Structure 1
Amino acid sequence: MEVGDRIRVGIIGTGGIFEGWGGGSGHLPAYPWVVKDAKVVALCDVNEENLKRGEYALKRLYEKMAREYESLGYPDYVELLRADSRDVRLYTDLDSMLESEEIDLADILTPCETHMEHVIKCLEAGCHVMCEKPLTRTWLEALEIVKAVKRTGRLFQYNEQQIYTPLFHSIRQLIRKGEIGELECVWISDSIGMPSWKYTKGGVGALLDLGSHSIIKSWFLIGFDYIPKRVRTLSPEGISIRVKEGYDHGILRTLKVEDDAHFNVEFEDPSTGRWVNAYIEASWSYRDSHGLRIVGSKGEIKVVNDAIEVIDVFGNSRKVEPWRESWLREPPPPAYNGFPQEIKAMLNCIKENARPLCDEKIAAESIAALNACYLSEAKGRTAIYLNEFKEMALKIMKEKGEKAYESLLKTLVEEALAKKL
């Protein structure tokens, strides 16, 4: 790829996270904004109906954005959008796409039980890769991705879009400036109020579905120079099934995985031995806590409905407006929800051959921490060091070989929920 060339992107998976849910969310709405840096050359989905719908959504959006940029006075964007819309090619088979196209970046948006296979195939085909969360269902699968990244020398970005938002960048800056003194703990909740049935089919519950968001966001605020060392599920709920039934496209189904998880992750600074705690709620049922709270030795930061409030130890408070970097301003992105920013960040990393902010090692450690929470619940909500969990997982790998991934997941979920199903 020559300097100045646009990065050729192949998108694998054209379901919900591709199209988005309105308000500029999702991957597709972000690509018109980075069209001068990236060209979507191919879409791939095993479901032909999804694929055709994805193609229609892309063409409709690109034309809409072309007209909008035309009215704003960006003729170069208009020309690129209309040309890219005409040229995009469709595939129902990943191998065929990788053989037929020259792809620089694979954007993987498929179900998490397929991530290991898809990520490794794309890396071995010479693509850089960014992948949606959860990275995998088990740490053993994530470990294979870490090995593949090292083996191929390609770049990998784990996509947690919220750490690229003005909101999270502003909070991180306030912490780094010492506005609340030394950081002590982060309280964070992710809840959607209904089961993600797409994940239950792969044996994944709320812990991995939503906990994968919360742990990365917490870690980003604490600092990626810290490492997760120990986890513990928290009473009274721990990992549980609080609403045993739910509707899936009009059909009443019984839940076989957890819909609620409360847990603590202890992060350690390896250079000083200092610890910072993250208290996390991941729920498909009830939200027991609200917003985001970061506590330090001299005050705290509260976030409710994306409004930042800094409170000192005397109770004095002030509002802080989220800060936006200059490269987020022109032309205006469809939303400041992090999707355009995370894609732009990966494109910059490819151009400069720089390691992404949230890479494969961080992703794998986050999955290890989430897996270890199941072990904590199974052992009566005792604290579990990640190394203890990893030793258990590697033992299963040695005994089961390729069947270890399913065996580990089944063991963790069944033991954690033994008395709750």
Structure 2
Amino acid sequence: EDFLNRLDKAFGDSDKITKAINKLNTIKQKNRYFREFLQDFEQTIFEAQGWGWDDQIKKSHLRTALNRELSDRLVFQDEPVGYEDFVSQLRRTSDKMNRGLGLTPQSTQTLNNKPNGDPMDWEPTQTIKIANIQRNVMRRTQPDRATWVSREDIDRRIEAGLCMRCGGRGHVIKNCSLLPAYNPNQRGKNLSSKPKVTAAPVPVDQEFEEVSGNRPERKFDLKKEWNRFEESMDCKPFIVNTFINDIVSTSTLIDTGCLSYGLCDSNFAQKNNLVRLKVNPREVVGFDGKIASSVNEVAVVDIDLDGHRQSKVFLYISQLGQYDIILGIYWIVSQDVRINGPRSEIGIRSTGIIVRSKDVVQKYRNTLKMQYTLVSAIAFRQLTKNHSRNKGVKVFAASLADINKSLAVKKRTDPSSVLLTHYI
């Protein structure tokens, strides 16, 4: 009880838990050292009273907050089950990354102050001295920096309700007046250095830029490459025509980036009176790792994609905007779907159906030269009534069952199953 009273004094904000949980959903490592970022992250966990949460929840929040470089290093590593083991793995991986970058203190350059007879030789030296004096003044006016402490000291500060950075009482790390501590093992990167500035102009075709792999490329060449590549950066979505419950025709997005079986737009479900089922709430996480919304209903539908028919398909109901139906990666896997990008079609191996995109179907329709005209019901009735006298008029009818039968994949018959035994 005494410990809780001290916590209330240290974190007096009545909404601190809500604020801390919101911060957990947005906190990012960015370009900070992992060990420095970890202090801020675990302080936020502590403020959210989440130290007793399940390890999977804490790992999920931490994994989402990591920067891309560190996340990429984890792809080929087995993830530990426990949170503490996961943090230890991240520390080792981060330290290896920093050592691989060769982070060593930069050597200082000795300036030659000896005059050479020409007064112009003295001017750069005077400029550098003035700049050094200005930097020293700036350092004296900046806040003090915290001292690097061990992991055990940080844990003790957390248990005592103290600031994780300075160990003081009555404030948290985000309100601490001290600057973050320098890691003594990474002192080289802590030293800030400014690039040399020259007054001589550099031609555009000789300017260099650091790109991935530290490989210098000419900006002029990269610009031309980008101009050629830019049109390949974006494309149209893969949309197919879909028949829902043998009643409604709509467009469906085939999305390999959707991790669920499928989604249904809430307005579409309400408009067409689809069967709904209440389920346990589930969070919808966007591509940036943030929670976009939550779903608590599924729609139950029968779908027909150019002859590929499925009954009682469950789709999460959510607000999708411009798409009525989205079929995700789990549908692609379960139906053994193969995507043919150049032909803009998908092959559904579970039924042998080839489904072409809506754009391809529309282009094919535009090439057909069909001669037709609309007639009224009265005119049609008159034609059918007198068709015996008017031999040039022929009337045909096709039911939905006939259309489905013609679209269905023909099943091969095994001759041995129909032949008599004495013929085998």
Shorter chain as normaliser: what TM range?
A: under 0.3
Bigger fraction of residues in strand: 1
- Max radius of gyration: which structure? 2
Using CA pairs below 8 Å that are at least 6 residues apart, which structure has the higher relative contact order? 1
